[in-house]
Amino acid sequence: MSTARDHFARRLRGIMPVRFDEPLARHTSFRIGGPADVYVQARTLDQAIAAVRAAWDLELPVLVIGGGSNLLVLDGGVRGVVIEMRARHVEGWPTGRLPASAPERLETFSGTIHSSSALDDDRRDDGAIEVVAEAGAPLAALGRKTALQGLAGLEWAVDVPGTVGGAVVNNAGAHGGDIAGSISAALLLPPDGDPVWQPVERLGLAYRTSMLKAAEVSQPRPLVLGAKFVLRRGDPLTLRAAVARYSQHRRATQPVGACAGSMFKNPPEQAAGWYIERAEAKGLQVGAVRVSDLHGNFMLNLGGATAADVLALVTLVQEKVRSRFGVSLELEIQVVGEAAR
């Protein structure tokens, strides 16, 4: 590994800094996770493409992360290269008026997805607005900013942590909205080709998953470079009220602290939290991880928790719910990396 990672660092010399043995607890919302053998932060799409192509050429395993807000990284860390996507440029146009500088297929690529006037200047039409966001753009800020500018369609995302890329992979959603209903296409870099816009119907988006997520983790997976959101003009007062209502709802129902959001998928009949509460699993604790007293589907890292603690608590909660209701709770969060040796 040390030779391959040295080769990787040499390939990226002058392009971006490369860190070895970077603790991933620093890069996940759970504040848990062992070291990545190699770690880079891509602040532009060019950097992301250079990093992932270098890793693919050297046959190093790659894990791309956004906000790390849906991940449990195991205590032994991640072998290979972790690329944190930070390219976060956002622009928008009235539908059908994408400038000529926005080709369907991007072969040579520099800086931002498009070069045109900013979102604020483009609200001339009554029609839809296409907003193109690079994958590292924070989804919550995008939802809030567009809603407060009078654009409807992404207000459901006002408080969903993480990036546009992670949201596409997970088909993130809240308050009745989701990515599947908000984007028209995602810009993907496949392992064997150039960036290409993939229409939303071909992403296999379903409840908190997609084809991009379902692909084998050990195999090279497409990198999400960006997404095209289709928004509509809405009533600014109504949108402002929706933003306030969604934020207030979250404050009232979800705990504050280091966590990964909902731990388990909701089974068809009831929310996971409903089962957890009735199985008397709220407040259960293993090491420094505790099932939230406010919301049963949240686990909080009280400080210094390990991934092993989380997995032990997950098993405990699953057993309690199974023995009480005969229901198997399936993890919503994604577990990556290796257990501590």
Note the residues at the interface with ligand FAD (CB under 6 A).
29, 63-71, 85, 135, 160-163, 165-167, 169-170, 172-174, 208, 213, 223-224, 259-261, 334
Encoding tokens for residue 74?
A: 């195991």
Question: CB-based contacts of 323: which residues, under 8 Å, 6+ apart?
Answer: 279
Q: Which is nearer to ligand FAD, 85 or 128 (CB)?
A: 85
Specify the 3-state DSSP secondary structure of 336: strand
Q: Which is nearer to ligand FAD, 113 or 260 (CB)?
A: 260
Measured CA to CA, the distance from residue 58 to residue 248 in angstroms comes to 48
Most distant CA atoms of the chain, gap in Å:
60
Q: Which is nearer to ligand FAD, 35 or 161 (CB)?
A: 161
Q: Which is nearer to ligand FAD, 136 or 150 (CB)?
A: 136
Q: Which is nearer to ligand FAD, 233 or 292 (CB)?
A: 292
Measured CA to CA, the distance from residue 247 to residue 252 in angstroms comes to 9
Specify the 3-state DSSP secondary structure of 67: coil
Encoding tokens for residue 47?
A: 């950097």
CB of 28 to ligand FAD, least distance (A): 7
Per the annotation, the verdict on 208 as an active-site residue is yes
Q: Which is nearer to ligand FAD, 182 or 318 (CB)?
A: 182
Question: CB-based contacts of 308: which residues, under 8 Å, 6+ apart?
Answer: 75, 287, 339, 340
CB of 121 to ligand FAD, least distance (A): 28
CB of 227 to ligand FAD, least distance (A): 10
Q: Is 304 left (phi over 0), alpha (psi -120 to 50) or beta?
A: left
Measured CA to CA, the distance from residue 238 to residue 240 in angstroms comes to 5
CB of 232 to ligand FAD, least distance (A): 22
CB of 187 to ligand FAD, least distance (A): 10
CB of 308 to ligand FAD, least distance (A): 20
Question: CB-based contacts of 28: which residues, under 8 Å, 6+ apart?
Answer: 65, 68, 69, 71, 72, 73, 260
Exactly one of 208, 221, 233, 290 is catalytic; which is it?
208
Q: Which is nearer to ligand FAD, 76 or 220 (CB)?
A: 220
Exactly one of 29, 69, 210, 262 is catalytic; which is it?
262
SS (H, E, C) 156-223: HHCCCCCEHHHHHHHCCEECCEEHHHCEEEEEEECCCCCCEEEEHHHCCCECCECHHHHCCCCCCCCE
Per the annotation, the verdict on 332 as an active-site residue is yes
CB of 48 to ligand FAD, least distance (A): 7
Measured CA to CA, the distance from residue 61 to residue 17 in angstroms comes to 19
User: Hey, which residues does 91 pair with through a beta bridge?
Assistant: 132
Residues classed as catalytic: 208, 262, 332
